[in-house]
Each structure stands twice: as structure tokens, then as C-alpha cells.
Amino acid sequence: MKDAAEDKDYVQSLVRGLEVIRTFSQYKPRMTLSEVAQHAGLTRAAARRFLLTLVREGYAETDGKYFSLRPKVLDLGFAYLSSLPMWELAQPVMRELVNGLQESCSLAVLDGLDIVYVARVPTERVMTIGLSIGSRLPAFCTSMGRTLLAGLPPAELAVFYDRVKLERRTENTVANMVALKDAIDASRRQGWTLVDQELEMGVRSIAVPVRNRRSEVLAALNVSTHAGRTTLETMKTRFLPALLDAAQKISASLSQ
């Protein structure tokens, strides 16, 4: 791809505007002009123009000192979700799975080095990390991430390996490149991924791919549980068959 500075079709102002939106989070829902400029890597003058434009268009609001996003920003994300047939087709299947297993179920897609949650049916909260639609987690140490990586073409997977930075999240995290490649290869061979307390201590999850009619991996479906409540053997013998059945139902619906 062309360098951004050389690409005449690259609209840098749009990129900067999106970056201003991304500076807001659950940890920083309200920020001053200076804070936005700092986090977005912009001058105060540039940040002010972007923020006031967002305010005028209804995507943000201000009390004169602090800026925050407005619900209209959700239109940007839900425009993507509404374009996914999985969004509506997966929900009833996921609810049925959660009712049967009494554990949380999620659906995610791959975006660069991360997975992004596009659907979630929770039960009780098992993670200290708050998860909802749009949440992002690193792909390398999550069950859905490795499932999605296992479905990538070799060239795209090689790019991931070149870019990823392996950070040890817990004492169980696979933070060695050779071991990670072996784990992803194993996920590809067996058709499912089990991750034991690599993202957060106490949390275990198992994931399987959701495929289209051409057998391409579109998303990953998982069930997460607490290590103190569910053994690894139970996840393989009880959770996995139910999860595979749910993924097959979603895949079949997509093929109709």
C-alpha cells in the first residue's frame, strides 16, 4: 500500500477526526480540550476544530470545559453491526447456548491485532474486564483470537506475527512466538481453541469458528467460565459439543 503522505486518496483529516473519537473511553468519558489534544497527538487548535465539528454534528457535547460523546456515535458502530447477518442470526442461538450451559457466550471478529466483540450474551460476570459489544482484546492470548488467527491465509497470518507484541498478561500467558505459532497450528488442526487463564487469572474460555458457505472463517464463538467452577475436562466434554453445535447452526443460517 502507498504511504499515507503519498496517497492522494488518503484523507488525513478524517483519520484525525476518528482518532479524536477513539480517545474517549469508559475510563475517560469526559475530557478537556487539552486532554483530548494530548491523547490524540494533536495541537490544541486542531483538537478544538475536530471537537467543535463533532459537537455541531451531534456526535459530542460540551459544557464549555469538558467534552464527551453523545449517543449518536453509536450509529457508526451499529452501521457495521447491522451489515452483519451474524448479528441477528447468532443472538437466539447464543441465548439457547447460555441457557443450557449457564455460562457467558460471545461472538467476535478479527481487527488487526485485536478481536472485537460483535455480540455477547452474559450470565454472571466472571471477568474483572468489562466486556460488551465493541470491546477489544488482544488476539494472541484469547480463545476467539487464536481461532480467528488459525483461519487466516498464511500471508495474512505472517503479517500478524511480524506486528504482534507478546505481552505476558498472567503467569499462564503464551508469550513466546514459537509456542504461540504451535498453539495456533493446534487450533487449526483440531478446529477449536481452549485458553486457560492467559488473559486473566481465573478465566477459562473455549472457542470455535463460524464459517460461511465457502468454509471461510467469519467469526469466532466462545463460552467463558471461571476456573474454580469448571474443569478443563468439562469444557472439552460438555461445553465443546454444545459450542460446535451452536456454531454449526449459525453457519447454516448464514448459508441460507
- Averaged pLDDT, 157-163: 96
230/202 same-domain check: yes
Q: Residue 91 is part of a domain; what is its CATH number?
A: 3.30.450.40
- Structural domain includes residue 4: no
Task: Please give the pLDDT value at position 247.
Answer: 95
Task: Please give the pLDDT value at position 81.
Answer: 56
Whether pLDDT at 140 is above 70: yes
97/65 same-domain check: no
Whether residue 67 contacts residue 50, with contact meaning beta carbons closer than 8 Å, is answered with no
Which DSSP helix (H) or strand (E) runs through 211?
A: strand 203-211
Task: Please give the pLDDT value at position 129.
Answer: 53
Q: Which range, of 17-21, 63-67, 83-87, 196-200, averages the lowest pLDDT?
A: 83-87
Range of the domain at 135: 84-255
- Structural domain includes residue 156: yes
134/66 same-domain check: no
Whether pLDDT at 107 is above 60: yes
Whether pLDDT at 104 is above 60: yes
Task: Please give the pLDDT value at position 1.
Answer: 42
Q: Name the domain boundary from 74, 95, 125.
A: 74
Q: Which range, of 131-145, 199-213, 216-230, averages the lowest pLDDT?
A: 131-145
Whether pLDDT at 128 is above 60: no
107/207 same-domain check: yes
Q: Using alpha carbons, select from 69, 43, 107 the residue that is nearest to residue 246.
A: 107
Higher-confidence residue of 220 and 26: namely: 220
89/130 same-domain check: yes
- Averaged pLDDT, 47-64: 94
88/151 same-domain check: yes
- Structural domain includes residue 157: yes
Task: Please give the pLDDT value at position 224.
Answer: 94
68/88 same-domain check: no
68/101 same-domain check: no
Whether pLDDT at 80 is above 50: yes
35/137 same-domain check: no
- Residue in this structure with the C-alpha cell 488518503, named with its chain if needed: 10
51/88 same-domain check: no
104/175 same-domain check: yes
Whether residue 139 contacts residue 148, with contact meaning beta carbons closer than 8 Å, is answered with yes
- Residue in this structure with the C-alpha cell 459530542, named with its chain if needed: 60
- Structural domain includes residue 184: yes
Task: Please give the pLDDT value at position 83.
Answer: 60
**pTM for the model:** 0.72
Would strands 193-196 and 203-211 be described as parallel, antiparallel, or unpaired? antiparallel
Q: Total domain count for the chain? A: 2
Task: Please give the pLDDT value at position 6.
Answer: 58
The counts of H helices and E strands in the chain are 10, 9
243/215 same-domain check: yes
* Mean per-residue pLDDT of the chain: 88
Task: Please give the pLDDT value at position 85.
Answer: 60
- Averaged pLDDT, 12-22: 90
Q: Residue 27 is part of a domain; what is its CATH number?
A: 1.10.10.10
